[in-house]
Amino acid sequence: MSKCDQCIVRQLNSLKELSKDELIRISECKTSTLIKRGDVLFDEGEHINGVFCIRDGVCKVSKMSANGKDQIIKLIKKGDLIGERSLISNETSNLKAVALNDMEVCFIPKEEIMKDLRQNSNFTMSILNDLAAALKQSDNVVVDMAQKTVKQRLAETLLHLNKNFDTKENGALDIQLSREDLANIIGTATESAIRLLSGFKKEKLIDLKGKEIFILDIVKLKNLSEGF
């Protein structure tokens, strides 16, 4: 079993606040798993009973709406923790997580994390900070969903992907999203997302090759997302 205290990924999240001893304890109880594209990491209503630390890969985190559509709330990637919210509230998950490509994730059981939360106040403060940042982010998304048009939201989403994900050697965004996934991030019908993407391509804001997306004009996308 790999050692948490030697894992680079740890430096990217709140686990960096743990002491060497605490990390060794975590190492001994954690489990590592390979998750295949399309596999469900956890589902709505499930008891997660711990937190996941993403070593590699990307997953979409969504919530089913009353009308049967899956709204994607966020994308989680290498270095992210997920499951803290449900753990803290001591509730089943309100969200579902599905791998967008093959992933490697570590699972740390609830009791071990709770122990650190009780004993290491730097760790607690870091988690508190994460939740505060997530809440701010979520409130911002509420405003965008409520006030921006679908076109603005698509532009914004593309910029967000460009900022938060690497690009491949050929310049394409290194994240594999179906048109339906994109529509479920934006909160629109798949056909509308496809049409707008085609429009953006025609206006040379982006280029499309299959699922590959190339961001061509950040400035115009930014203007668009702000309503100009």
Partner DNA sequence: TTTAAAAGATGATAATTATCATCTTTTATG
Partner DNA sequence: CATAAAAGATGATAATTATCATCTTTTAAA
Q: Which stretch binds DNA (CB under 7 A): 56-64, 97-105, 133-141, 207-215?
A: 207-215
Restricted to residues 165-184, the positions that interact with DNA (CB under 7 A) are 178-180
Taking CB under 8 A as the rule, does residue 226 contact a second copy? yes
Restricted to residues 147-166, the positions that interact with DNA (CB under 7 A) are 149-151
Q: Where are the alpha helices (DSSP H) in 30-109?
A: 84-89
Q: Which partner, DNA, a second copy, none, binds residue 104 by CB below 5 to 8 Å per kind? A: none
For residue 69, the number of C-alpha atoms closer than 13 Å in the C-beta half-sphere is 15
Strand partners, 98: 40, 60
What distances in angstroms separate CA 44 from CA 79, 88, 137, one per listed residue?
22, 16, 21
User: How many residues in the shown chain lie near a second copy by CB under 8 A?
Assistant: 44
Q: Which of 140, 164, 178, 198 binds a second copy (CB under 8 A)?
A: 140
Cβ-based nearer residue to a second copy, 117 or 208: 117
DSSP code for 180: H
Q: Using CA atoms, how far apart are residues 204 and 191, in angstroms rounded to an integer?
A: 20
Q: Are 175 and 161 in contact (CB under 8 A)?
A: yes
Binding site for DNA (CB under 7 A): 149-151, 178-180, 187-192, 194-195, 197-198, 208, 210-211
